[in-house]
Amino acid sequence: MRSFPDAKVAVEDAIMAPGGDKVAIRYSWRGTHTVDFMGIPPTGKTVEMQGISIVRAENGKLVECWDGYDTLSLLRQLGVAL
């Protein structure tokens, strides 16, 4: 992500569904806010966020992805939400 150029993602868990076409991935993400993000000027703060992605593959290619992540926690860490 451009606003957090040093961002790193750590996969905490990955679970394959029966049938093998879907994988659920729980991850944590950490980066330093050094470039404007959603109109928020750079804060220099290092933030962390957790999320879950479910991906579906077809013929060896990823064809769908559903994501859920904690944006409110990110905005709180940046100091723009209560």
Q: Is residue 1 part of a domain?
A: no
Q: Is residue 14 part of a domain?
A: yes
d(CA 26, CA 4): 20
d(CA 4, CA 32): 5
Give CA separation, 35 vs 27, 45, 47, 65, 76, in Å: 23, 11, 13, 27, 17
- pLDDT for 82: 86
CATH number for the domain including 24? Answer: 3.10.450.50
- pLDDT for 1: 79
- pLDDT for 76: 97
Q: Is residue 53 part of a domain?
A: yes
Q: Is residue 45 part of a domain?
A: yes
- pLDDT for 23: 96
Q: Is residue 2 part of a domain?
A: no
User: Tens-of-pLDDT digits for all 82 residues of the chain?
Assistant: 799 999 999 999 999 999 889 999 999 999 999 999 999 999 999 999 999 999 999 998 999 999 999 999 999 999 999 8
Domain that holds residue 48: 8-29+39-77
Domain count, the chain: 1
